[in-house]
């Protein structure tokens, strides 16, 4: 253990009591946060209390405040809504209500509160904290508690987690529930798209927002932050009639709640519908999503986010001193951090103020770069500029998919093609990867050809694993024939290897001296230079949903352990993060070698578990975690050792992990990263255009565009070689490994958890300034 790192075993919760409550509108993932607080709290030796029905339960006390046990949060992870309840509470707004709440807490020794809710709920918690000592004094004066109680419970520590489907809280990249709400929205839009495809000219108008517009490739979006200019009605109808001319049958118009025009008049779905019917005569339907968005099972992302936040919240409480301000646990890139609660609330209120004052530019700026980027990307991709407005560039750009299919690849191709066309380039689609390239399977691809690609899984271009080295002559020839000035490769590890091979062959084949960029796309998430790859989120959701079903199949069946094999090559990302999202007991991966003793410990752990009320076990195994401890071996070992205590079943998830419609995250990630890659290509084409031709021979003209924390970063592929374990096709360092202790803690294993990454109290300004994608 390196000395520089802090490990939380030094932090003890012994003698502390933590209350956890959910407040305000419910959001999917709140239960995962409650579960994590309870289990982490118990793990560090604290007592944890459920406060049922939010602040109302705190004011009413009695049965509403109940001690939680490890088992009481079992099977909670996959449930939407909030199991412990959340009620609106007028009394807590009054001094008298807060006095009663304080008495209820002191009587149980609770001086630590985890509040999961929106900014209103968190502000209420802060006020309660500020008043705390005064409230206790009053309780002494009225004889309800004694001086000793005041001394023991002198400070109330508060930590907040934002549960809200709106993602409108400043200070976190994502709030708990947003990703799941996007899943619901996209499921509905996808369903509408399939029904409407067979009808003629059907337009749907939805109450949604910007990110879903990006994820489904909507034709028009109306959001409060971007009131349309005068004349938008004609422009929108013009666009829809152009769609008709292009034989597009379905139009999706998204209207967010509170959408306004530039005169401050509200834009309703009915107004939009009547407009389309009146001006174009299209058959137009309105679908209002309402509470559907809050419903259903939480997505993998929300389960992981909430679990991480819950654990971090307990750490924050353990570390809090009387001077520590109330904080909110938030997400920055792939890191859980703490920010002062009231700074975030203030910033959030400033956004609201700017909106109320119709200062939309300021509101968009205050919302952070990510919102602005979404807005710009949407504008770029949804509206085809008339040819007369696009100066033709002399360049042809080729796009290809390489490796195994991954959901979101098509969204990336669509985005690249449209951005390329907007920049004036002629875009070429290369079919079937480098193999198709060498055979000349290359066709021009136009704006309309990629319509509807965002929501489609697999690879519509066709993708293969073939590496280019054996076909260099032919590939060079095709580049010459088609006068290709730049390459965009969307794919997995073979795409990375392919780029390295093309780069190495530049001295022999001058045709290869063109700018090349790859964006990572594989379910395995094993590409050096990027924290995430397109397709991994969809695969993770597929694994999580399947695990839910598998777990459910055990209901009524006594004592069963499931061994589930996941994909990923040698990369344990899917197994580890899938295990965290599904609430598994163990995840075997190549990166964390395990021996027969570890297997034995796990069997003993499960044997113990069977004595409790949770008579079910889930074990994930990455396909290449160990060549001898195969899935069959582990299944047989567990079956033998578990005889008389539990029986076993095994499931190899296989290619279902690569399939299905892309998740909203993969659609958006694919869209944004490919747009950025294409903009880089345009810049490089100009930079390397010398004497009538493109000639790029520098290291930085062959890059990988990866997500590093919150930023999209171009990295020369040669520089990534150092970071790569080529034999096992994985990066030498992988950020998600730090989630493994968390998964083990939540499954009741004794382990140490490195908190050197977390625990810093930062400021919201720093948070908002970081370049985010
Ligand atoms: P990838 O190449 O995208 O990294 O090699 C690992 C893997 O993905 C696995 O996730 C999976 O086992 C396998 O490839 C699937 O490939 P095929 O579709 O070619 O069978």
Q: Considering only residues 506 and 335, tell me which one the structure prediction assigns the higher pLDDT.
A: 506
**Lowest mean pLDDT, pick from 246-250, 583-587, 692-696:** 246-250
Q: What is the DSSP string of 594-619?
A: --HHHHHHHHHHHHHHTTSS--EEEE
Name the percent of the chain lying above pLDDT 70: 94
Confidence grade of residue 9 (pLDDT, cut at 50, 70, 90):
low
pLDDT in tens, 435-468: 999 999 999 999 989 988 999 999 999 999 999 9
Q: How confident is the model over 297-303, as a mean pLDDT?
A: 96
| Strand runs labelled E in 36-122 | 47-51, 65-67, 112-117
**Lowest mean pLDDT, pick from 61-70, 311-320, 368-377, 651-660:** 368-377
pLDDT in tens, 642-699: 999 999 999 999 999 998 999 999 999 999 999 999 999 999 999 999 888 899 999 9
- Tell me if 542 sits within 8 A of 597, measured CB to CB: no
- The atom number, within ligand 1, closest to the CA of 406 reads 3
Position 247 pLDDT exceeds 80 = no
Confidence grade of residue 3 (pLDDT, cut at 50, 70, 90):
very low
Position 351 pLDDT exceeds 60 = yes
- Could you give the residue range(s) of every CATH 3.40.50.460 domain in the chain? 179-294, 536-657
- The atom number, within ligand 1, closest to the CA of 539 reads 10
| Strand runs labelled E in 640-683 | 647-652
Position 204 pLDDT exceeds 60 = yes
Structure-block tokens of residue 118:
């929106």
Position 209 pLDDT exceeds 80 = no
How far is the C-alpha of 251 from the C-alpha of 448, rounded, in Å? 14
Structure-block tokens of residue 61:
């006390």
Confidence grade of residue 758 (pLDDT, cut at 50, 70, 90):
low
**Lowest mean pLDDT, pick from 202-206, 364-368, 484-488:** 202-206
**Lowest mean pLDDT, pick from 50-64, 253-267, 413-427, 733-747:** 253-267
> So what's the pLDDT on residue 8?
56
Position 333 pLDDT exceeds 60 = yes
Q: How confident is the model over 369-381, as a mean pLDDT?
A: 82
How far is the C-alpha of 677 from the C-alpha of 442, rounded, in Å? 20
State which of 569, 590, 653 you would mutate to test the pocket of ligand 1, scoring each by most atoms of that ligand within 8 A of its C-beta. Answer: 569
How far is the C-alpha of 713 from the C-alpha of 333, rounded, in Å? 13
> So what's the pLDDT on residue 772?
45
Q: Is 649 labelled as part of a ligand binding site?
A: yes
Position 620 pLDDT exceeds 80 = yes
Structure-block tokens of residue 565:
């094999």
Q: Is 654 labelled as part of a ligand binding site?
A: no
* Residue 569 alpha carbon to ligand 1 centre in Å: 6
How far is the C-alpha of 607 from the C-alpha of 585, rounded, in Å? 12
C-alpha distances (whole Å) from 152 to each of 15, 110, 156 are 11, 11, 11
List, chain by chain if needed, residues with CB within 6 Å of any ligand 1 atom. Answer: 403-404, 492-493, 522-524, 526, 567-569, 623
Q: What is the DSSP-derived secondary structure letter of residue 521?
A: B
Q: Is 523 labelled as part of a ligand binding site?
A: yes
Which entry of 60, 166, 632, 757 is annotated as an active-site residue? 166
Q: What is the DSSP string of 172-201?
A: -S--BTHHHHHHHHHHHHHHHHHHHTTSSS
Task: Of 517, 503, 498, 508, give the one whose Cα is nearest residue 698.
Answer: 503
pLDDT averaged over every residue in the chain: 91
Q: Considering only residues 587 and 245, tell me which one the structure prediction assigns the higher pLDDT.
A: 587
Q: How confident is the model over 338-352, as a mean pLDDT?
A: 91
Could you tell me which residues come within 8 angstroms of residue 720 by beta carbon, excluding any fewer than 6 positions away?
496, 528, 529, 704
How far is the C-alpha of 640 from the C-alpha of 507, rounded, in Å? 60
C-alpha distances (whole Å) from 588 to each of 550, 591, 732, 750, 753 are 18, 9, 18, 17, 18
Task: Of 186, 151, 83, give the one whose Cα is nearest residue 455.
Answer: 186
Fold of 386-530+663-733: Rossmann fold (3.40.50)
pTM for this model (two decimals): 0.93
> So what's the pLDDT on residue 372?
79
What is the number of alpha carbons within 13 Å of residue 318 lying toward its C-beta?
Answer: 27
pLDDT in tens, 15-29: 999 999 999 889 999
The answer to whether residue 323 is catalytic is no
- Could you give the residue range(s) of every CATH 3.40.50.450 domain in the chain? 17-175+298-353, 386-530+663-733
pLDDT in tens, 108-149: 999 999 999 998 899 999 999 999 999 999 999 999 999 999
CATH number of 536-657: 3.40.50.460
| Phi-psi sector, 260: left (phi>0), alpha (psi -120 to 50), beta | beta
Position 525 pLDDT exceeds 60 = yes
Q: How is domain 179-294 classified at the architecture level of CATH?
A: 3-Layer(aba) Sandwich (3.40)
pLDDT in tens, 623-641: 999 999 999 999 999 999 9
Q: Is 384 labelled as part of a ligand binding site?
A: no
Q: Exposed, middle or buried, 16 (CB in 10 Å: 0-12/13-18/19+)?
A: buried
* Residue 484 φ/ψ, nearest 5 degrees: -80, 125
* Residue 491 alpha carbon to ligand 1 centre in Å: 11
Vertex 557, ends 556 and 562: CA angle to 5°?
A: 130
* Residue 567 alpha carbon to ligand 1 centre in Å: 7
C-alpha distances (whole Å) from 533 to each of 91, 313, 388, 459 are 48, 28, 37, 15
> So what's the pLDDT on residue 416?
98
Could you tell me which residues come within 8 angstroms of residue 323 by beta carbon, excluding any fewer than 6 positions away?
none
- Which residue owns the Cα nearest ligand 1 atom 4? 524
Fold of 17-175+298-353: Rossmann fold (3.40.50)
């Amino acid at each position: 253990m390196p000395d520089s790192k802090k490990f939380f075993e030094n932090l003890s919760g012994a003698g502390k009591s933590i209350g956890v409550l959910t407040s305000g509108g419910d959001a999917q993932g709140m239960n995962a946060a409650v579960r994590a607080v309870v289990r982490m709290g118990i793990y560090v030796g604290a007592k944890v209390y459920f406060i049922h029905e939010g602040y109302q339960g705190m004011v009413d006390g009695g049965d509403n405040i109940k001690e939680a046990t490890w088992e009481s949060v079992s099977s909670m992870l996959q449930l939407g809504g909030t199991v412990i309840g959340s009620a609106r509470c007028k009394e807590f707004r009054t001094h008298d209500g807060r006095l009663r709440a304080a008495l209820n807490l002191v009587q149980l020794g609770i001086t630590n509160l985890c509040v999961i809710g929106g900014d209103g709920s968190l502000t209420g918690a802060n006020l309660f904290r500020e008043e705390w000592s005064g409230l206790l004094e009053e309780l002494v004066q009225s004889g309800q508690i004694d001086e000793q109680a005041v001394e023991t419970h002198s400070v109330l520590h508060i930590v907040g987690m934002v549960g809200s489907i709106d993602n409108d809280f400043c200070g976190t990249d994502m709030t708990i529930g947003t990703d799941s709400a996007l899943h619901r929205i996209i499921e509905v839009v996808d369903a509408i798209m399939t029904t409407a495809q067979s009808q003629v000219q059907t337009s749907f108008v939805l109450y949604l927002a910007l990110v879903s517009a990006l994820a489904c490739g909507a034709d028009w979006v109306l959001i409060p932050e971007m009131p349309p200019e005068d004349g938008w009605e004609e422009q929108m109808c013009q666009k829809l009639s152009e769609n008709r001319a292009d034989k597009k049958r379905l139009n999706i118009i998204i209207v967010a709640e509170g959408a306004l025009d530039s005169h401050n008049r509200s834009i309703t779905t009915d107004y939009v519908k009547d407009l389309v019917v009146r001006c174009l005569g299209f058959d137009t339907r309105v679908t209002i999503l309402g509470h559907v968005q809050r419903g259903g099972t939480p997505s993998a992302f929300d389960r992981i986010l909430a679990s991480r936040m819950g654990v971090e919240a307990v750490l924050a409480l353990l570390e809090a001193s009387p001077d520590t301000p109330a904080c909110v646990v938030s997400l920055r890139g792939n890191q859980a951090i703490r920010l002062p609660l009231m700074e975030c609330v203030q910033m959030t209120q400033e956004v609201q103020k700017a909106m109320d004052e119709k200062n939309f530019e300021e509101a968009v700026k205050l919302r952070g770069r990510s919102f602005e980027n979404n807005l710009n990307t949407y504008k770029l991709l949804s509206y085809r500029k008339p040819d007369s407005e696009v100066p033709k560039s002399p360049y042809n750009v080729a796009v290809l998919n390489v490796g195994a299919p991954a959901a979101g690849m098509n969204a990336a191709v669509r985005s690249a093609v449209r951005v390329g066309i907007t920049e004036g380039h002629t875009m070429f689609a290369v079919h079937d990867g480098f193999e198709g390239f060498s055979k000349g399977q290359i066709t021009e691809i136009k704006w309309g050809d990629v319509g509807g690609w965002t929501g489609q899984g697999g690879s519509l271009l066709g993708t293969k694993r073939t590496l280019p080295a054996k076909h260099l002559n032919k590939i060079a020839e095709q580049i010459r024939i088609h006068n290709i000035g730049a390459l965009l490769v969307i794919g997995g590890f073979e795409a990375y290897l392919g780029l390295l091979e093309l780069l190495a062959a530049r001295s022999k084949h001058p045709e290869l001296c063109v700018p090349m960029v790859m964006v990572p796309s594989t379910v395995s998430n094993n590409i050096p230079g990027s924290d995430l790859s397109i397709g991994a989120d969809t695969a993770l959701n597929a694994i999580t949903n399947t695990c839910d079903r598998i777990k459910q199949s055990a209901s009524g069946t006594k004592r069963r352990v499931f061994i589930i094999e996941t994909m990923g090559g040698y990369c344990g990302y899917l197994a580890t993060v899938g295990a965290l999202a599904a609430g598994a007991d163990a995840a075997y991966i190549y990166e964390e070698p395990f021996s027969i003793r570890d297997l034995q410990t796990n069997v003993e752990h499960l044997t113990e578990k069977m004595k409790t009320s949770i008579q079910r076990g889930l074990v994930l195994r990455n396909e290449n975690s160990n060549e001898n401890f195969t899935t069959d071996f582990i299944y047989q070992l567990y079956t033998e050792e578990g005889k008389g205590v539990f029986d076993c079943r095994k499931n190899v998830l296989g290619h279902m992990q690569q399939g299905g419609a892309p998740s909203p995250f993969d659609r958006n990630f694919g869209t944004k990263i490919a747009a950025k890659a294409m903009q880089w290509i345009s810049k490089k084409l100009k930079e390397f255009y010398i004497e009538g031709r493109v000639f790029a021979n520098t290291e930085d003209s062959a890059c990988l565009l990866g997500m590093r924390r919150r930023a999209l970063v171009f990295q020369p592929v040669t520089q990534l070689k150092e970071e790569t374990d080529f034999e096992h096709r994985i990066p030498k360092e992988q950020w998600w490994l730090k989630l493994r202790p968390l998964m083990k803690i939540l499954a009741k294993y004794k382990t140490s958890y490195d908190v050197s990454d977390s625990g810093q109290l930062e400021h919201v300004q720093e948070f908002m300034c970081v370049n985010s994608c």
